[in-house]
Structure 1
Amino acid sequence: MAVLAAMLTVFANTSAFAQEAAAAATAKPVDMEPVYKSTLFYVLLFLLLCLFIAIVGKALRVYELTRETQGKPEGINWNKINGILFALFLIVGLYGVYWEYTVHGNMILPEAASEHGKKIDQMFNITLIITTIVFILTHIILFTFTYFYKSTGKRKAYYYPHNNALERIWTIIPALVLTVLVLMGFLTWRSIFYKIEDPKNKPLSIEVTSSQFQWDVRYPGADGVVGKKSYKLITAINALGIDFTDKNSLDDQLADEIVLPVNKPVRFILTSKDVIHSFYMPHFRVQLNTVPGMTSYFEFTPTLTTEQMKAKTNDPTFKYLLLCAKICGANHFNMQKPVRVVTQEEYDAWVVKQNPYLTNDLRKAFKLPVVAEPSKEAPAAADTTAKDTAATKTNQLAIKK
C-alpha cells in the first residue's frame, strides 16, 4: 500500500509538473478549481487513511511482540478497549437515531391530503413507533451486555443452551404484534379498494394513460362517462386509441394538468401503452402500477385544496404532483404532471374550457360530422393590413429612388 501511495504521489506530481509546463508554453489561464472537488483527491485521501491505519497496526503488533519476547505481560488489554468501543458506539448510535428523527424527520411529507391517506399515515406511525422502541431497547441491551461482560480472565461464561419460557416470549409477542399490523394493513387496503358507491355522491372518473415518458389525461365530458378505447385503434392522430363508435367518447376532453374538486371522490382509470409505470401522487398517499393490457382503478377523496396546503406548509410555491415511481427508462425523472385541488366552483369553471379529444381530423377519419372551426376573419384582416403597410413602404422607397 505504501508503494502504491508513493507511485500515485509521483504520478500526481509528474502530471502537475507537466500541466505547469504546458500552461507556461501556451500561456493559458490555469484552472484553479479547488482540489477537494476532484476524484483523485479523495482516492489519495482514502489510501492515506488506509496507510495510516496499517502503520499504527504494525507498530502495535511490534510493541506486543517485543513485550512477548521479553517475557512481560500483555501490554494492551484489547478486551477492555473493545468493551469501551462498544459503549462509545452505543452513545454515538443513539445520538444518530435522535439526529435522524429531528433532522431528516422534518423532511418527510406533510399531512395526507386525502381521506384514506390519514389511515395510511396512522398505520405508518404505529409501525414506526413499535420498531423504534424495539430497535433502541435491543441495542441498549446488546451493547451494554458487551461492555459489562467483557472477558477479564477471572470468570467463565455460563453455558445456557435452552429456555422454553424465554423462547415462548420472544416468539409469541412478535407474532401477536405482527398479526395486529398485518390486520390493520389488510383492513385499510379493503377500505381503499372495495368501496360502496354512494348514488348521491358518485365519483368523478378520470382516465390516465402512461407512456414513455408522459401522462395523458382524459376527462369524461358532460355525460360524466369516459368512453371506450382499444390499442388496435391507436394511430398518429388517435394516440390513445379512442373508440368513437362509443357515444360516451364523443364529448371526452384532454387536459394538460389534473384538476380535482375538493371533498369529491375521484376514480382514476389507469392504463399503460408500453411498459409498466407507477401512478404515484405522494401527497394523497396514492400509488398503483399501470400495466400494459390491463386496466387498474384507484379511488380517493382529496381533502385539502392546493391553497390550503400552501398555507399549512408555509410554502407559496407548493404544488401537488403526479410522478412515476417505476424506473421506466432514461427520461423517467421527467415524467411529471401538475395536480391542482380546487373548490367545486373553480373546477366547474375550469373543466368547460378544456379542449375536446375529438378534433375535425378525427371526425374525418371516423366519418363523423365535421364541426365548424372558429372564425379566423380577425387574424386575416390583421394580415391584410400588415401586407398593405409593407406594400406602402415599398412604394414610398421606390418614389424616393
Structure 2
Amino acid sequence: MAFRKLININKFFAALTLLLLSATGVWAQATVNATTPAATEKANVWVGPGYYVLLFLVICLAIAIIGKILKVYDITQQIQHKEPIKLNNLMAYFFIAFLVIGMIGVWWSFSVQGSMILPESASLHGIKIDHMFWITFGITVIVFIGTQILLFGFAFKYRGSEKRKAYYLPHNNTIEKVWTIIPAIVLTVLVVFGFFTWREITNTVDAKGEKASLNIDITGHQFAWEVRYPGRDGQLGRKSYKLITGTNKLGVDFQDRHSLDDLAADTIVLPVNKSIRINILAQDVIHSMYMPNFRVQMNAVPGLPTFFKFVPIITTNDMRNRLDDPTFEYRMYCNKICGGSHYNMQKVVRVVSQAEYQVWLAHQKPYLSDALKKELKMADAGSVKSDNKRLALNN
C-alpha cells in the first residue's frame, strides 16, 4: 500500500508540474509576442509568476522524492534486518552543510552588494559616523559568525546517540553571568561611543556663539519641500504659520526687514567646505529631511523647528568623477512615509565651489514676488531695493 500511495503521489506531482510547465510556456510565448524590446529586456529579470510557482513546486517535489527514497531505503533495511538509517547523523551533517552554505551566502552577499551599504561620505561629520558604523558592523559580524558556529556546531557534536546519555543541566550561574555581562559591556561601549560621536556632531559652533557660513530654511509639506535662502544681509526673516496664504506659502513676515531680500530656490546649492545650517520645519505632518550622501537626517515636526549643521567636502563634479557617472546628483529625500505621494518629496542637492555658488545665487528670484507684493499691497520694485549682488555667504 505504501508503494502504491507513493506512485499515486508522484503521478499527481508529475501531472501538476506538466500542467504548470505548459501554462508557463504559453504565458512566456504570449509575452514575447506582445512585448516591445524594452519589455523583453525586463523579461530577463521578471518572467511571470508561473515561473516562480513552478520553481517552488519543483524544489518541493525534489525534497519529497528524496524523503520518500530515504524512507523506502530505511524500510528495506529493516525488512532485511540491517541497521536502519541513523537520522540523527544525517540531520547533523545537514546542519553542517547548512552552516557552510549559509556562510558562503553571507560572504557572497557582502562581496557583491557590500558597496551598496553606504555611499562615500560627502560631509565632514559623515566620516565619524562611518567610523562608528563600521566598528559596530565589525563587532556584529564577529558575534554573528561565532554564534552560528556554536549553534550548528553544538547540534552536530551533541546529536542523539545510543552510546551517549544526555546530561541534564537545569541551571548554571556562571553561564548566565557570561552571556549577560559580556553583551551588556559590549552594548554599553557601543552606546557610549555613539553618544559621544553624536554629541560631537550636534554640539556645533552655533552653541559657541559663532554663526554658520550659510543659513537655509527647508520646509516640508505634503508633498514637496520649500527652500528659502537669505539675501544680501545674510539673515533669514521671521516666519509665522498665521501668515501662510496661497501666495505666501511659508508665512514669511515682511514686517521683518530681513525678510525683504530672502530668496526662493528650486534646487539646493551649497558651497563646498563651508559650514551649512539647515533649519528644518514642517507644515502638516511629520516629515524627515534625509541626505544619505551627507549622513544628514533630521525629522521635520510641525510646531517644533529643528536644525542640522554640516560641512560638505566633495563637490558634485568631483563625486561624478569618482563614481564615473556624469549623471550623478546628490539628493534630499523625505524619510518618513507621509502620505500617498511621499515618493515625490525629493530635491536635487548640488555642491559647488564658492565662485560657482555666488554666480548661482545671483540668478535666484526673490521670495517677495510681484504676486506677494500685490497681495500685501506693497509698492512696486521701488519699495524693496533690488541688488544683483545677493550673497548669502558671509565670511
TM-score of the aligned structures, taking structure 1 as reference length? 0.81
The alpha carbon displacement at 1:9 in A equals 5.6
| Pair 135,307 (structure 1): closer, same or farther in 2 beyond 3 Å | same
The 5 Å alignment of 1:59-74 reads: 59-65=69-75, 67-68=77-78, 70=79, 72-74=81-83
Q: Which shows bigger deviation, 164-173 or 295-304?
A: 164-173
| Pair 91,330 (structure 1): closer, same or farther in 2 beyond 3 Å | same
The alpha carbon displacement at 1:372 in A equals 6.5
**Alignment match, 2:386:** none
**Alignment match, 1:386:** none
The alpha carbon displacement at 1:237 in A equals 1.6
Post-superposition Cα deviations, 1:348-397, rounded to whole Å, max 9, x if no partner, equal: 22212210010122112112221179xxxxxxxxxxxxxxxxxxxxxxxx
The alpha carbon displacement at 1:113 in A equals 1.5
Q: Give, in whole Å, the separation in 2 of the partners of 1:76 and 1:99.
A: 34
The alpha carbon displacement at 1:136 in A equals 1.0
**Alignment match, 1:86:** 95
Q: Give, in whole Å, the separation in 2 of the partners of 1:289 and 1:316.
A: 31
The alpha carbon displacement at 1:187 in A equals 1.4
Query: Does 2:155 correspond to 1:185?
Result: no
Task: Work out which of the residue numbers 132, 157, 162 in structure 1 matches 2:141.
Answer: 132
**Alignment match, 1:195:** 204
Q: Which shows bigger deviation, 278-287 or 294-303?
A: 294-303
Q: Give, in whole Å, the separation in 1 of the partners of 2:241 and 2:328.
A: 36
| Pair 235,153 (structure 1): closer, same or farther in 2 beyond 3 Å | same
When the two chains are superposed, the root-mean-square deviation of aligned CA atoms in Å is 3.1
Post-superposition Cα deviations, 1:283-311, rounded to whole Å, max 9, x if no partner, equal: 11001111223211111111222223233
The alpha carbon displacement at 1:232 in A equals 2.6
**Alignment match, 1:353:** 363
The number of aligned residues is 365
Query: Does 2:163 correspond to 1:154?
Result: yes
| Pair 50,187 (structure 1): closer, same or farther in 2 beyond 3 Å | same
**Paired residues of 1:5 and 1:48 also in contact (CA < 8 A):** no
The 5 Å alignment of 1:313-352 reads: 313-352=323-362
Q: Secondary structure at the match of 1:85?
A: helix
Post-superposition Cα deviations, 1:319-351, rounded to whole Å, max 9, x if no partner, equal: 211111122233322322111112222222221
Post-superposition Cα deviations, 1:98-135, rounded to whole Å, max 9, x if no partner, equal: 21221111223333111211111111011011111111
The 5 Å alignment of 1:27-66 reads: 31=34, 37-65=47-75
**Alignment match, 1:206:** 216
Look up the equivalent residue of 1:190 and give its one-letter code: R
**Paired residues of 2:214 and 2:274 also in contact (CA < 8 A):** yes
Q: Secondary structure at the match of 2:81?
A: coil
Larger C-alpha radius of gyration, 1 or 2?
Answer: 1
Percent identity over the alignment? 50
The alpha carbon displacement at 1:48 in A equals 3.9
**Paired residues of 1:261 and 1:343 also in contact (CA < 8 A):** yes
Q: Secondary structure at the match of 1:216?
A: strand
**Paired residues of 1:266 and 1:300 also in contact (CA < 8 A):** yes
Post-superposition Cα deviations, 1:139-174, rounded to whole Å, max 9, x if no partner, equal: 122222222332231111223333333332222221
Q: Give, in whole Å, the separation in 1 of the partners of 2:301 and 2:167.
A: 58
The alpha carbon displacement at 1:61 in A equals 3.2
The alpha carbon displacement at 1:199 in A equals 5.6
**Alignment match, 2:280:** 270
**Paired residues of 1:276 and 1:291 also in contact (CA < 8 A):** yes
Query: Does 2:86 correspond to 1:77?
Result: yes
